[in-house]
Amino acid sequence: MRIDRLDLERYGHFDGTSLDLSNPDARLHIIHGPNEAGKSTALSAICDLLFGVPERSRLGFRHGNNALRIGAALALPDGRVLEVKRRKGRTATLLDGDGGAALPDNILAPWLGGLDRTAFERLFGLDHARLRAGGEAMLAAGGDLARTLFQAGSGLSGLDRIVTRLTGDADEIGSPHRKQASKPLWQSIDAFAEAAARMRNEATKAEAWEAAETAVTTAREQLATIRATLAEAESARSRLERLRRVRPLLARLDDLAAALAEAGEGPDLPDSLAAEWRRAEAEMLTSARQVDETAKALAEAEAALDAAGPVPALLSLAAPIEALYQRQGEMAKSAADLPRRQQEQAAALARLAQLARDIGQATNVDRLSALLPDRLLIARIRDKVKEHARLDQARADATRRHEVASRDARQAERQQPATAPDAAKLARADAALAAARRFGEVELRQDRARRALEDGTARLAQLTARLGRFTLPPDRLAALPLPPPDAVERQRQQEQALETKRLRLLEDQRAAEQEAGRLRQTLRTLSGAGDVPTPAVIAQARQDRDGHWAALRPHLTQGTKAPADAVPAFDAAIRAADDLADRRDRDAQRVADYLRAESDLAASADRLSTLTREAAALEQEEQRLSQGWADLWRPADINPGSPAEMAAFLTQAATILTARDQQAQLQEALDSVSDDAGQCAAHLRQVLALCRGEDGGSDSLPALRVAAEAAHAQARQAADAACKAEQRLTLVRAALDNAADDLAAAERALEGWGSGWAADMASIGLAPQSLPAEAEAALRVWEDIAGELRQIRDLDHRIAGLDRDINAYRADSAALLSAAAEMVPGLDVAADEAATALYDALRQARTLAARRESLLQSREQAARRAGDAARIARDAAAALSDLHHLHRLTDGDDVTALVAAAARRRELWASELSLQAELRKAGDGQELKQLREAVSGLDPDAMAAQVADLSTRIERAQNDLAETSVRLREAERALADMRHRAGIGGAAQDAADAAAGAAQLAGRWLRLRAASLLLTQAVERYRDRNEHPLLRRAGTVLAAMAASGGNPVVRLKVDYGDADHPVLVGVRQDGGDAHVEDMSEGLRDQLFLALRIAAVEVHVAQSTPLPFVADDLFITSDEARTMAGLRALAELGQATQVVLFTHHEYVVAAGEQALGGRVQVHRLRT
């Protein structure tokens, strides 16, 4: 499968970018881009296209994750082109070429060769970091052949670290084959042996056991009797003490009832009423006092307001007084400006007089104003001046052009050629050459078509040879009725499903067997500490005991002599049954574990039976599938291999048939371009005949093209020269005529210029014959006069305005003084000082008005406080009245005495309730009536004597209880020690724990050793399969890449040396060995690259070809080795598509120099 086009529609910072990778002649695609141009983004896009965009992709920073789109045109092995697009999501992420319909998620699976993203990146992706890691891994492995081949072919690295870690972990546990006391495994084994020895040394006699059990039973019976006696005495004493406790409480309860009767009846007033009543009366007195005080304050405020007098009348003139005060400064400035403006006016008149004298006029402002030339006159005169200068320059230019044109005409006549080529022949030569040129570089196309046909023939032979055991001629292959690829894919999927099912079944069987073994080991471990006292075992022991009793009983009842071993056997049976019964509770957890293990073992056996039946059914299904696979290929008379092999065969067959069709097309293309070459040669010979009179003979097409182009160019150059000479002569003659006409016109225009000049000069006071320069000077003087006149008129206006403002200010001051004379007594000032005096009087009036306003506010506040005091007095009276009505009091009631009586009654009631609660507690919850009946008629002295007697009995019983409890604990401890010795106890548990620990460690050791051995064997198998073809191809590639230098590596070999495993060694040109650890960093990188190229070639020969994507592989290589590496990638490009990303321009230049047309360069722009 190839990528013909990669569309980065919306991906990373790309928007609408497309890479065309469809060039069939390109064996290597180099994608170049500077830093930040998106090279890494484009590299990531290939993997995201084939396998999906990761869930947490960071490439949606510009467009958003939901808008991400990658598209491609994929050329499939069967010749079809599949247009797809990929979006980010969890389902239906693969779309058709239009992006509208979703495609099945597994549509690309048949052409990915069963690879997932990780496997694809490892095998078909290689960047500088992985290249360097591969070289370092080879160095770490010391050139080990198997590991080097496996790492290069699979893309996995770090095998040495994995094997070393597995071996080290196993050694830390300890080996079962070599005893080491410091290792955890042997520590557990030693602990088990020590616990087992302790178990064998423990034993107990039957008589001591029976005596210990009798002591425990006797102590327990005595303890029960003492406890009963003690309980009876304590109950009697508790009753007497209860009666003694409640007797005084009952007397106090009777006293409270008498006190309540004495308190009598009355209203139930709250305790807070007295305080509320006193507060209401205090508020009444306070509010009355406040009413008097506020009335007095209101009268004082009104008196002060009357004494302040009316509002000053001058406030009515506040606005004009403030305006006059603000104009005071402006008027002072106007008075100061008036003399200065008068001086400026005198100076302007003096300058005007001098200007009038310059043009011979009298110094009269009105006359000069009347004589000022208007703008039209000034513009007309200046236009005349400019026109004169222009006409004079035009005459000079026309004279110069006439002289030049005359000289050119004489020179053109001298340069006219004698003869010129035939125009008709030249036109026919032009047509013939154009016809030849339309064929383009037909000789290059002919050579390219010939080489393409040769490459196609070689490629068809190479593809046919790759069929291996299925090698057939292409025509024979085309006639075979081969099954479709989807049938092969279905077979592969079915076999894979069966294989997965078989592996899962084997895993389940292995897990079930391991579980059964573990359960058996658990049962053995639990049984190793003695018989497990399960219900079945206890029942069997009791049955044995009853059997011995049944045999012994007749002898005991009849008085006959029993057999000598009957009694010991019976005693042993009793002890065994009792021991199991006693251990049943003590070993409850062990019993439960044993029963659960037995149940799980039975279930595991059932599971194994079921899995065995499933295995048989699976074997039948595999046989049926194998027969169907053979039937599928029988029409083609082919004995099929595995589905992967046959899928590769079908892919290769489709590629061969496509190549066969392409070869026919290439032959047709070569025939067509050869015909074009013949026609092109005929046209070129015609050009030579027309231009030189010869046909070129049997020259080759390139030679004919060069000769015809040269002859045509020479003839065309001669014709163009003759034509240009004739045209130049015509042009210079016309230019001479035009120059003469221009000179005559310029002279006429200059002669007619003076019309109206005399009248205009009289208008500005000059003589009629004045020159244009004199007129220009006079105009400048008149412009200065106009400026002075404007300034004089402006000063006249400003001086009049200043006089007017000063007089108006003085009039306004006098009017305000007259209006305020009656309002402000003693106001006698001049008009210029009126503004300040009036403003001071206004400020005094405002001060008086503000004081009167403050007094007015004080009176209003006093009136408000008087109203608030009256309202508070009314509220206090209402609150007192509410208390009367709420508690139904009359005016003559003593509220304080009534509240105190109510409080006394509540206190007595509370005491009665509290005493009743205390009585219930002291009487142990008995009813009051029962307590009174029990107490009545009892003698207190007799009760005291009875309590003392009971206390003595209780103390004696408690002493007996303590002594008996001690004896019981000692007996139970002695019995427990016997049970501990007789029942294995801690030794058995220690042995079980040690056995379990040893089993766990041994199992982990086995898993670690198995993993290490399996990985090593897998690497060795890979070496066995790939050693010779991989090494041969990798040696060839490395020799080409490392050819520079003084003593390069020319091939690879396998060397055993003193080691027990083969290592990879390079052979230099002089025959010396180059071990991996002696190679330079760059040479190790090239060795790993050569191995990877060889591994990819082997893989694509056996499976579906996929694009090989590389990134910056030549960072450590010089120019020569870079070119060699690019040639190696181009050779890989014959088997599969190769794409190289780089940001180095020298890599691009090296590729173009080394590969020419076999490389296509794509540039990413920032």
pLDDT at position 141 is 55
pLDDT at position 985 is 47
19-23, 171-175, 208-212, 605-609 — most confident range: 19-23
CB neighbourhood size of 620 (10 A): 9
Three-point CA angle 142, 145, 151, nearest 5°: 90
Q: Is the pLDDT of residue 1028 over 60?
A: no
Q: Which residues pair with 30 in a beta bridge?
A: 1140, 1161
- In SS3 terms, 551-594 reads as HHHHHHHHCCCCCCCHHHHHHHHHHHHHHHHHHHHHCHHHHHHH
Cα–Cα dist 957/222, whole Å: 12
Residue range 111-130: mean pLDDT, rounded: 79
Residue range 107-126: mean pLDDT, rounded: 80
Q: What is the pLDDT of residues 812-837, one digit of tens each?
A: 877 777 777 777 776 777 766 777 77
Residue range 976-988: mean pLDDT, rounded: 56
> Considering only 390-404, 910-924, 979-993, 1094-1108, which range has the smallest mean pLDDT?
979-993
Residues 6+ positions from 91 with CB-CB distance below 8 Å: 105
Q: Is the pLDDT of residue 749 over 60?
A: yes
Length of the chain: 1166
Cα–Cα dist 234/643, whole Å: 95
Q: Determine contact, residues 1095/1026, Cβ cutoff 8 Å.
A: yes
Cα–Cα dist 167/240, whole Å: 84
pLDDT at position 880 is 73
3-state secondary structure of 1073: strand
pLDDT at position 816 is 77
User: Is 917 in the same domain as 977?
Assistant: yes
Q: Which residues pair with 18 in a beta bridge?
A: 7
Q: How many CA atoms lie within 13 A of 317 on its CB side?
A: 26
User: Is 258 in the same domain as 285?
Assistant: no
Cα–Cα dist 1139/1162, whole Å: 10
pLDDT at position 982 is 44
Residues 6+ positions from 715 with CB-CB distance below 8 Å: 421, 426, 429, 691
Asked if the structure places residue 210 within a domain, the reply is yes
Q: Is the pLDDT of residue 239 over 70?
A: yes
Cα–Cα dist 786/968, whole Å: 146
300-304, 611-615, 905-909, 936-940 — most confident range: 611-615
Residue range 1043-1056: mean pLDDT, rounded: 74
Three-point CA angle 702, 703, 706, nearest 5°: 85
Cα–Cα dist 35/118, whole Å: 26
Asked if the structure places residue 1155 within a domain, the reply is no
Alpha carbon separation from 1154 to 168, 358, 879, 1157 (Å, rounded): 50, 92, 116, 10
3-state secondary structure of 140: helix
Report the percentage of the chain scoring pLDDT > 70.
84
The residue from 922, 952, 982 where one domain ends is 982
Q: What is the pLDDT of residues 918-933, one digit of tens each?
A: 777 777 777 777 777 7
User: Is 858 in the same domain as 927?
Assistant: no
User: Is 978 in the same domain as 959?
Assistant: yes
- pLDDT-derived band at 12, boundaries 50, 70, 90: confident
Q: Is the dihedral of CA 528, 530, 534, 539 positive or negative?
A: positive
pLDDT at position 1081 is 80
> Considering only 207-211, 386-390, 596-600, 672-676, which range has the smallest mean pLDDT?
207-211
Q: Which residues pair with 15 in a beta bridge?
A: 10
pLDDT at position 73 is 92
Q: What is the pLDDT of residues 678-735, one digit of tens each?
A: 888 888 788 778 787 676 666 677 788 788 878 778 777 777 777 787 778 788 778 8
Higher per-residue pLDDT: 488 or 523: 488
CATH number for the domain spanning 228: value is 1.10.287
Q: What is the pLDDT of residues 190-227, one digit of tens each?
A: 777 776 666 555 444 445 666 777 888 888 888 888 88
User: Is 844 in the same domain as 913?
Assistant: no
Q: Quick one: which H or E segment has residue 74?
A: strand 69-75
User: Is 911 in the same domain as 961?
Assistant: yes
Higher per-residue pLDDT: 60 or 591: 60
- pLDDT-derived band at 146, boundaries 50, 70, 90: very low
Task: State the Cα torsion 259-264-265-266 to the nearest 10°.
Answer: -90
pLDDT at position 156 is 46
Residues 6+ positions from 336 with CB-CB distance below 8 Å: none
Asked if the structure places residue 183 within a domain, the reply is no
Q: Is the pLDDT of residue 1153 over 60?
A: yes
Q: Determine contact, residues 526/674, Cβ cutoff 8 Å.
A: no
pLDDT at position 1160 is 92
Asked if the structure places residue 1075 within a domain, the reply is no
Q: Which residue, among 432, 426, 437, 440, has the nearest Cα to 714 in the 3D structure? A: 426
Residue range 461-483: mean pLDDT, rounded: 79
User: Is 261 in the same domain as 280?
Assistant: no
Q: Is the dihedral of CA 498, 499, 504, 510 positive or negative?
A: positive
- Count up the domains in the chain and report the number: 4
Cα–Cα dist 1138/1130, whole Å: 7
Residue range 597-606: mean pLDDT, rounded: 80
User: Is 814 in the same domain as 846?
Assistant: no
- pLDDT-derived band at 1138, boundaries 50, 70, 90: very high
Alpha carbon separation from 684 to 433, 671, 969 (Å, rounded): 6, 20, 132
Higher per-residue pLDDT: 412 or 198: 412
Three-point CA angle 670, 673, 677, nearest 5°: 130
- pLDDT-derived band at 144, boundaries 50, 70, 90: very low
Cα–Cα dist 60/52, whole Å: 14
Q: Is the pLDDT of residue 313 over 80?
A: no
Q: Is the pLDDT of residue 379 over 80?
A: yes
CB neighbourhood size of 579 (10 A): 20
Q: Is the pLDDT of residue 253 over 60?
A: yes
Residue range 783-798: mean pLDDT, rounded: 81
Number of H helices, E strands in the chain: 30, 13
Asked if the structure places residue 813 within a domain, the reply is yes
Three-point CA angle 272, 276, 280, nearest 5°: 175
Asked if the structure places residue 188 within a domain, the reply is no
Q: Determine contact, residues 1093/1037, Cβ cutoff 8 Å.
A: yes
What is the residue-averaged pLDDT of the chain? 77
Residue range 264-278: mean pLDDT, rounded: 73
- pLDDT-derived band at 546, boundaries 50, 70, 90: confident
Asked if the structure places residue 600 within a domain, the reply is no
User: Is 909 in the same domain as 971?
Assistant: yes
Alpha carbon separation from 492 to 618, 645, 1004 (Å, rounded): 16, 10, 36
Q: Is the pLDDT of residue 984 over 50?
A: no
User: Is 257 in the same domain as 290?
Assistant: no
pLDDT at position 145 is 42
Task: State the Cα torsion 553-559-561-567 to the nearest 10°.
Answer: 40
Three-point CA angle 637, 639, 643, nearest 5°: 120
- pLDDT-derived band at 386, boundaries 50, 70, 90: confident
Residues 6+ positions from 116 with CB-CB distance below 8 Å: 51
Cα–Cα dist 282/22, whole Å: 110
> Considering only 106-110, 344-348, 568-572, 1060-1064, which range has the smallest mean pLDDT?
1060-1064
Report the percentage of the chain scoring pLDDT > 90.
1
Q: What is the pLDDT of residues 414-453, one digit of tens each?
A: 777 666 667 777 788 788 878 877 877 777 888 888 888 8
3-state secondary structure of 32: strand
Q: Determine contact, residues 179/168, Cβ cutoff 8 Å.
A: no
User: Is 957 in the same domain as 934?
Assistant: yes
- pLDDT-derived band at 28, boundaries 50, 70, 90: very high
Residues 6+ positions from 7 with CB-CB distance below 8 Å: 17, 18, 19, 69, 70, 71, 72, 85
Q: Is the pLDDT of residue 576 over 80?
A: no
Asked if the structure places residue 2 within a domain, the reply is no
Residue range 962-970: mean pLDDT, rounded: 79
> Considering only 361-370, 542-551, 1000-1009, 1090-1099, which range has the smallest mean pLDDT?
1000-1009
> Which structural domain, as residue segments, surrounds residue 568?
534-585
End-to-end CA gap in the chain? 30
DSSP string, 805-859: HHHHHHHHHHHHHHHHTTTSTT----GGGHHHHHHHHHHHHHHHHHHHHHHHHHH
Q: Is the pLDDT of residue 527 over 80?
A: no
pLDDT at position 831 is 66
